[in-house]
Copies of this chain bind each other. A is one copy, B any other.
Amino acid sequence: MDDTFKNLESVFGEIIDLRRAAALLEWDERVCMPEGGVQAHGDMLATVRRLEHEKFTSRETGELLSEAKERVKGLDRDSDLHRLVTVAARDYDKATRVPAAFVSEQAQTVSAAHHAWVEARSKSDFSIFRPHLQKVVDLKRRYVAFFPEVEQPYDALLDDFEPGMKTSEVQEIFDTLGSRQVTLVQSLVDRPQIDDTVLTLPYAEKDIWDFGVEIMTSFGFDWARGRQDKSAHPFATSAGPGDVRVTTRFDASQPFGLLFGTLHETGHALYEQGLGSRWSRSLLEGGVSLGVHESQSRLWENLVGRSLPFWECFFPRLQKRFPAQLDGVTPRQFYRAVNKVEPSLIRVEADEATYNLHVMLRVELEIALLGGEITVADLPEAWNGRMKSYVGVVPDGDAKGVLQDIHWAIGLFGYFATYTIGNVISVQLWDACHGVEPSLDDQIRRGEFSTLLAWLRTRVHEHGRKYQPQEVVERATGARIDPEPYLRYLDRKFREIYGF
């Protein structure tokens, strides 16, 4: 390898080391840190992140990348090296457009906004958060201005989470999903409701945890390269494919939240573990986008974990752990219970049929805010109006409405769309895998997941960040990101469950 690439490899290695260190320090903050460590952790993370950013945006990195771009010109555009340089150059371009002073101003604004949001939510009073959110929105407008070439302002925000994706594509997805999901939900609420009391009986945390671990192991989670812990909010993180960590939480009022949290985060973890060592310590390490990442978590949580074949296999095992609670319950009854559709206020508690509607509402509001079609002051009303027409319920206060999610408070605009993109991709992948592996359901019914995992490894995981998200989907499924399969899936599943 010539010197340019060797030097670049060494610079990227150092950058990845710092990113991994930051990931572990954040994991520590959320899983291990005693309360007295808040200040020290904040300082450490700020320093590690700043050094990473300085290193990445340094003139040295820029010069190496310029040389590298020249060198790869003769290579196949799909070769690893060409792709690496392309992705790195794109990341570098984005990172260097944003001045350090802006990053630091944003960090301060967001820190204050987060603080205000916590208070506002606890008092269910949007007015406390409003001036801070205004500042965040103003910052986002200035951020967008660093990318004057975009078609729509929102493109610049979306691209940070879903590289290459355009606002128009997202809007097209929601145009297709929105009205048809609303119609589906309206049909479902007219049907006799499912009795899910079995899910709200008392269950010992440890037994549900152990059951989750049993399933993680069956899915193929490699315990030599990962672990599971508890935290206030479930998440997955990684310090490279050799050390991938998930968390979950227990709430006695929703004991199976622990289990589905485990399955969801395990989906993310299988992606990270599946990267293998091919891209290790290079800029192609990691998931390609939040949407593709979410496709993995939703696939294992919902398409596997909320399927009938899955519960035909695992319900008897669950029943053995909880005879008192589950005696006389059938796998199908349990399957129906975990798939109950009920329009509700909170996104993170939403079922599969309503989930995207919660997301659509947020994405529409973000685009309208950024485009100036609505103001920050309009938000609560706009929120509640859309809740009424999309989901059919209206919050009795801002805490369960416009203040429910942390994203805007911590500066995440353009992020929500990736939840729906993930849902959509998950079914496309699922269908594609079924196409070549017709016995997949039977395998799942036997608790075997190795074929599914191997297919995802080859088609998605192993590519790391080499391809754009759309390319990953096209290469795996033969089609671009398309909401039709998701709608067909919902329709088929919930018509069968609700019997109409």
Identify the A interface with B (CB < 8 A): 13-14, 17-18, 20-21, 24-25, 28, 32-41, 43-44, 46-48, 51, 222-227, 239-243, 281
Contacts and interface: CB of A to CB of B under 8 A. Distances in A.
Contact of A44 (B21, B37, B224): B21
A47 B14 contact: yes
Given A24-B28, A51-B51, A43 B224 contact: no
A47 B20 CA distance: 11
Contacts of A37: 225, 239-240, 242-243
Q: Which 6 A-B pairs have the closest CB atoms?
A: A37-B243, A36-B225, A36-B242, A17-B47, A40-B240, A21-B44
Nearest to A55: B51
A283 to B, nearest CB: 15
Nearest to A43: B17
Contact of A224 (B28, B35, B224): B35
Contact of A41 (B25, B34, B239, B241): B239
A21 B44 CA distance: 6
Contacts of A33: 243
A11 to B, nearest CB: 11
A20 B47 CA distance: 11
Nearest to A226: B34
A57 to B, nearest CB: 16
Nearest to A14: B47
A24 B222 CA distance: 24
A21 B13 CA distance: 18
Nearest to A229: B32
A242 B13 CA distance: 31
Contacts of A14: 47
Given A36-B224, A37-B225, A44 B20 contact: yes
Contacts of A24: 24-25, 28, 44
A222 B51 contact: no
A265 to B, nearest CB: 15
Contacts of A39: 240, 242
A49 to B, nearest CB: 11
Given A21-B25, A48-B21, A281 B34 contact: no
A28 to B, nearest CB: 6
Given A24-B44, A36-B225, 8 more contacts: A18-B48, A21-B25, A24-B24, A24-B25, A35-B225, A36-B224, A36-B242, A37-B243
Contact of A243 (B34, B51, B227): B34
Contacts of A21: 21, 25, 44, 47-48
Contacts of A20: 40, 43-44
A159 to B, nearest CB: 28
Contacts of A240: 37, 39-40
Nearest to A227: B34
A38 B39 CA distance: 28
B224 A40 contact: no
A43 B281 contact: yes
29 contacts: A13-B43, A17-B46, A17-B47, A18-B48, A20-B40, A20-B43, A21-B44, A21-B48, A24-B25, A25-B25, A34-B224, A34-B225, A34-B242, A36-B224, A36-B225, A36-B226, A36-B241, A36-B243, A37-B239, A37-B242, A37-B243, A38-B242, A39-B242, A40-B240, A40-B243, A41-B243, A43-B281, A48-B48, A51-B51
Contacts of A25: 21, 24-25
A43 B13 CA distance: 8
A382 B44 CA distance: 47
A33 B226 CA distance: 8
Contacts of A18: 44, 47-48
A48 B15 CA distance: 11
Contacts of A51: 51
A74 B269 CA distance: 59
A273 to B, nearest CB: 9
Contact of A28 (B28, B34, B41, B226): B28
